[in-house]
Amino acid sequence: MKKRYVIYLCLLGLIALQKYVPPVLPVIQLPGEVIMRWPGGSEFLGGWFAAGLTNSFVGATLAAIIVLIIAFAARARSRTAEEVPTGFYNFIEMIIELAYGYVENTVGKSAKMFFPFFMTFILWIVVANWMELFPGVDSIGIWENLPHFQAEGALEAAEEALHNGATPLEVVRSAPISQAAQDEIAEHFHLIGEDGEPADVSLSEAELEELVVEIEHTVDHEVDEANIGDMQNGVLLTKASTTTDADGNAVKSDEADWTIVPFVRAAATDLNFTLAMAFISVVMTQYYGMKAQGMKYWRKFFPFYAGKGDEIAKNPLAIMDIGVGLLEFISEIFKIVSFAFRLLGNIFAGQVLLFVIASLLPIANLLFWHLEFGVHLLQGVVFALLTLTFMQGATESHHGEEH
């Protein structure tokens, strides 16, 4: 049988499978989910990584390991003039040579200095992005009861708000529960008077603990009653069954309370990863600028040096250099923000797109899979190219008095 007919049969099988295993839409959230909590809770390591091990951190670590494997597998090795590299080594060597040639043509003699960062950014970001396209990533993990999951989040938020100085009434009003439930809890703890105005009360440690537990139980109850989940528990997490009420509206079953916390999630869908990459890029840009120009590098941001007063006396408009330098310094800092959110926005949007399309028509995901493959590659290359451009600009002198 020809290969294309095998592919056609697989596609038909995928379409038929939807009838017996309806697709689901997983719960989508921006922060990385905790898959393993540390012993000791928030006291562990003095508060660092207080929540626990997140699936996005696992994704970033796996991406780094894959990049290291590629580096060791493709490391330069001696060979005779007659030997011709083949296979994976030949492919990686071709990519490295093309990339180094581009960097050399762009920055000249600084290529050896900038190329390690340029290539590392491309490999790590692209591998981290492409992990989202592998089967099992975002789909294999821990079954989580959705009411319990959201109630735990509400409990942690309430405890953190109290720790940061919020009043008990402010904590109750910020809880993700209905207005009626908020009023009931506030009245129970005498946080509001008979006129509905805030009461001047002071709760003991035990009462505060009881308050946050009551918020947790209320969130658990309301989420359970709402049946907002899309999955139900069984041999597998499958789409929740629905019934029809008296008005003809579809109503989810009482078992529609489950979600999944995946073991691995694409690293760039978490702001922590993109901020780290952006921070490294901007900090190293300043380092190479100082290495090339010394302390004179900072003149473009803070134009205060011997002779500046005479220059302003001759040309009063030169005082504008101070404002321009300050704006340029602010823009340099905000490169961290723009770098981080550009990468996060594109990759997280791609993840949501794949989730939504898969829940509507899984077979259509094959088309979007190829689209995301190209977008993820492009984002890694763009990040590296912008970093290379900024590093090159930082090493070039901008001061006319040096001529």
DSSP structure string for 64-84: HHHHHHHHHHT------TT--
**Residues 375-403: tens digit of each pLDDT:** 999 999 999 999 998 888 888 765 444 44
Last residue of a domain, one of 202, 227, 262: 262
168, part of any domain? yes
- Of the three residues 262, 281, 315, the one that is the final residue of a domain is 262
| Global confidence as pTM | 0.75
Q: Average pLDDT for residues 222-238, to the nearest whole number?
A: 74
DSSP of 19-60, one letter per residue? HHS--------SSPPEEEPPTTGGGGGGGTT-S-EEHHHHHH
- Structure confidence at residue 278 (pLDDT): 92
398 and 300 in contact (C-beta within 8 Å)? yes
- What total number of domains does the chain contain? 2
The answer to whether residue 97 is domain-embedded is: yes
Encoded tokens for 401: 């008095």
The confidence score (pLDDT) of residue 126 equals 92
**Average pLDDT estimate for 128-156:** 84
pLDDT at 47: 43
Same domain, 320 and 341: yes
Q: Band the pLDDT of 61: cuts 50, 70, 90.
A: very high
Name the token pair of 91.
């492919």
Q: Is the pLDDT of residue 297 over 70?
A: yes
Q: Can you give the residue range of the structural domain that contains 258?
A: 144-262
The helix or strand, by DSSP H or E, that contains position 331, with its residue range, turns out to be helix 320-360
Q: Are 56 and 270 in contact (CB under 8 A)?
A: yes
Burial code of 148-179, b = ≥16 C-beta within 10 A, e = fewer?
ebbbbbbbbbbbebbeeeeebbebbbebebee
pLDDT classification of 64: cutoffs 50, 70, 90: very high
Are residues 346 and 255 part of one domain? no
Are 178 and 213 a contacting pair, CB within 8 Å?
no
Judge whether 348 lies within some domain. yes
Helix (H) or strand (E) holding 317: none
Residue 393 host element (H or E): helix 365-395
- Work out the pLDDT band at 45, boundaries 50, 70, 90: very low
Q: Which of 233, 262, 291 is the endpoint of a domain? A: 262
Interatomic CA distance for residues 117 and 115, integer angstroms = 5
Beta-ladder partners of 53: 36
Percent of the chain with pLDDT over 70: 83
CA distance 153 to 21: 30
Same domain, 386 and 349: yes
Q: Long-range pairs for 386-389 at CB < 8 Å and ≥24 separation? A: 386/281, 386/339, 387/117, 387/118, 387/121, 387/281, 387/284, 387/285, 388/103, 388/106, 388/107, 388/114, 388/117, 388/118
